[in-house]
């Protein structure tokens, strides 16, 4: 608590210094070097940049040539703000990695990373899944544009009053407890292609492979959602969601009330819903990786998949990245700042102060802060575990991919299968046909 108060005090002092400096002329006449981060992280990164400025002076013997302004901006809207007015954009700003495509389309609104030291740190510190989504091609040449520093994935948040750690290892275990207590097994945050992706992205536990192929290599046509494995997974999913004690699609009451009133025993959710889940369940909140499930003879009918095959529920495992505005008149200083802000040391401090999950690949084992005995640490650890059962959203290579996957009706078609809408999808052939329509939408935007 003292550390957080100290950071807030330092942030206010820095802000005051900037205001005073602008009036007394003790700083350059240039506009400040601006950095956009999530609103929840402004005080922390303001304090870290004060530290950077002090270190710069010690290292070079000179004052840093610009004032620095750290501002809070919604991560989801930062890319749009820059595209609307490049001149008004920050010198460094945070985006979700799948926004890189829209920022590098055409002439590109962001600058590539050229510093050998920064490129080396990026390659050494990040998992392969992140390295695969931060490079973009501009006019036929591939560059690294994003600097990962925060990670996130879906996890299971559950009611410990009913469920044990053993129960939540499998959906079958959760379903058995739900039947015993006349509850529903799980609520979903949403029926969209992100929040309802745990079956779409399921992993075969034996092979470690995901049957679904979604824009592999950034190619629009490189999709597959019609394999026998996918058919069997969806048949299991239909059995689970049509069971009165199984999965629960979003309702008007909302998942928070369903957890609080013990209608549902668990939630598939992200860290950004942690506080709401904690408010609903209090001391009964538990957190686990998404459960596995085992196919039965009923689930594998009409396929060549064997009954007893085990799958692990999957997740999109994403990163937030720093990027640099193209054409910044402070470009010579930006990469060294990013080297500092994305370092594993600063990532750990960000986790301690802001609960930001590190992107650093060895955080779970190397960061002493992640060994602490509290629920926030469990949340971080379980998210990191989910990186073994997921992929980053593969939509950053082109704005078309995001649009086709999320906005052309495919999520609704998946929901129709799972709920067996109007009893139209009770046969293997009907499910196959629907899966082909989903695959076509991913590829072309049309059924």
**Domain boundaries, given as residue ranges, for the chain:** 33-151+318-388, 154-316+398-444
Q: How far is CA 47 from the centre of its chain?
A: 25
Quick one: pLDDT at residue 5?
44
Query: What is the percentage of the chain residues whose pLDDT exceeds 90?
Result: 76
What is the distance between the alpha carbons of residues 16 and 208, in angstroms, rounded to a whole number? 54
- Cα 185–311–173 angle (5° rounding)? 30
For the cut 90, the answer to whether the pLDDT of residue 86 exceeds it is no
Contact status, residue 89 vs residue 325, Cβ threshold 8 Å: yes
Question: What pLDDT does residue 190 have?
Answer: 94
Structure tokens at 360: 């650093």
Instruction: State residue 358 phi and psi, 5-degree precision.
Output: -65, 150
Nearest to 287 by CA among 268, 313, 264: 268
Question: Is pLDDT above 60 for 347?
Answer: yes
For residues 79 and 190, the model is more confident at 190
* CATH code, 33-151+318-388: 3.40.190.10
Question: Average pLDDT in the 180-185 region?
Answer: 98
Q: What's the pTM? A: 0.82
CATH number belonging to domain 154-316+398-444 = 3.40.190.10
Q: What is the pLDDT, as a whole number, of residue 20? A: 34
DSSP 389: G
Interatomic CA distance for residues 147 and 328, integer angstroms: 17
Return mean pLDDT, the chain: 91
The per-residue pLDDT for 4 is 44
- The mean per-residue pLDDT over the stretch 37-47 comes to 93
- Region of poorest pLDDT, from 4-18, 68-82, 140-154, 392-406: 4-18
Q: Point out the least confidently predicted range of 47-51, 171-175, 237-241, 350-354.
A: 350-354
Do residues 143 and 266 make contact, with C-beta atoms less than 8 angstroms apart?
no
The 8-class DSSP code of residue 350 comes to H
Q: Which helix (H) or strand (E) holds 12?
A: helix 2-24
Q: Residues 353-374: what's their mean pLDDT?
A: 90
- Chain-centroid distance of CA 375 in Å reads 19
Q: For 66-75, 81-90, 208-217, which range has the lowest pLDDT when averaged over its residues? A: 81-90
Are 33-151+318-388 and 154-316+398-444 in the same CATH fold?
Answer: yes
Rounded CA gap, 447 and 433, in Å? 10
Distances (CA, A) of 25 to 46, 62, 290, 294, 429: 21, 17, 56, 69, 75
- Please tell me the predicted confidence (pLDDT) of residue 249: 96
Please tell me the distance from the alpha carbon of residue 183 to that of residue 161, in angstroms, as a whole number.
Answer: 13
Task: Between 26 and 127, name the one with better pLDDT.
Answer: 127
Q: Which residues pair with 92 in a beta bridge?
A: 35, 324
pLDDT value, residue 234: 98
Q: Is the pLDDT of residue 82 over 70?
A: yes
Those residues whose C-beta lies under 8 Å from the C-beta of residue 384, and which sit 6 or more positions away, are 151, 153, 357, 363, 364
Does the pLDDT of residue 272 top 90, yes or no? no
Q: Please provide the DSSP assignment of 233-277 as one string.
A: HHHHHHHHHHSTTSEE---TT-HHHHHHTTSBSEEEE-GGGHHHH
Answer whether residue 171 shows pLDDT above 90. yes
């Amino acid at each position: 608590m003292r550390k957080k108060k100290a950071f807030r005090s330092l942030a206010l002092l820095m802000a005051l210094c900037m205001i005073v400096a602008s009036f007394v002329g003790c700083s350059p006449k240039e506009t400040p070097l601006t950095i956009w981060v999530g609103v929840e992280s402004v005080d922390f990164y303001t304090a870290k940049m004060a530290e950077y400025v002090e270190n710069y002076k010690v290292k070079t013997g000179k004052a840093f040539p610009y004032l620095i302004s750290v501002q809070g901006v919604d991560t989801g809207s930062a890319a749009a703000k820059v595209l609307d007015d490049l001149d008004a954009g920050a010198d460094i700003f945070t985006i979700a990695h799948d926004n890189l495509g829209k920022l590098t389309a055409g002439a590109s609104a962001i600058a590539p990373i050229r510093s050998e030291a920064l490129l080396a740190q990026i390659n050494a510190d990040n998992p392969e899944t992140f390295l695969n989504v931060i490079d973009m091609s501009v006019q036929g040449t591939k560059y690294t544009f994003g600097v990962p520093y925060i990670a996130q994935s879906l996890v299971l948040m559950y009611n410990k009053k009913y469920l044990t750690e053993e129960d939540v290892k499998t959906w079958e275990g959760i379903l058995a407890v739900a039947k015993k207590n006349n509850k529903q097994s799980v609520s979903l945050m949403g029926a969209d292609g992100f929040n309802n992706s745990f079956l779409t992205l399921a992993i075969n536990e034996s092979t470690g492979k995901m049957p679904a192929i979604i824009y592999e290599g950034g190619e629009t046509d490189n999709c597959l959602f019609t394999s026998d494995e996918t058919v069997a997974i969806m048949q299991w999913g239909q059995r689970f969601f049509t069971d009165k004690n199984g999965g629960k699609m979003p309702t008007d009451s909302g998942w928070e009330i369903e957890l609080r009133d013990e209608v549902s025993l668990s939630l598939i959710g992200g860290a950004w819903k942690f506080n709401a889940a904690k408010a609903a369940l209090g001391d009964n909140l538990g957190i686990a990786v998404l459960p596995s499930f085992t196919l039965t003879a009923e689930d594998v009918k009409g396929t060549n998949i064997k009954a007893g095959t085990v799958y692990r529920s999957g997740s999109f495992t994403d990163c937030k990245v720093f990027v640099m505005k193209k054409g910044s008149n402070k470009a010579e200083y930006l990469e060294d700042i990013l080297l500092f802000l994305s370092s594993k040391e600063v990532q750990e401090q960000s986790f301690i102060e802001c609960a930001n999950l590190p992107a650093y690949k060895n955080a779970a084992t190397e960061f002493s802060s992640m060994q602490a005995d509290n629920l926030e640490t469990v949340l971080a650890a379980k998210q990191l575990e989910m990186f073994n059962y997921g992929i980053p959203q593969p939509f950053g290579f082109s704005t078309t991919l995001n649009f086709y996957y999320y906005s052309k009706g495919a999520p609704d078609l998946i929901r129709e299968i799972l709920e067996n809408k109007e009893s139209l999808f009770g046969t293997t052939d009907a499910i196959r046909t629907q899966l082909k329509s989903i695959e076509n939408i991913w590829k072309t935007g049309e059924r």
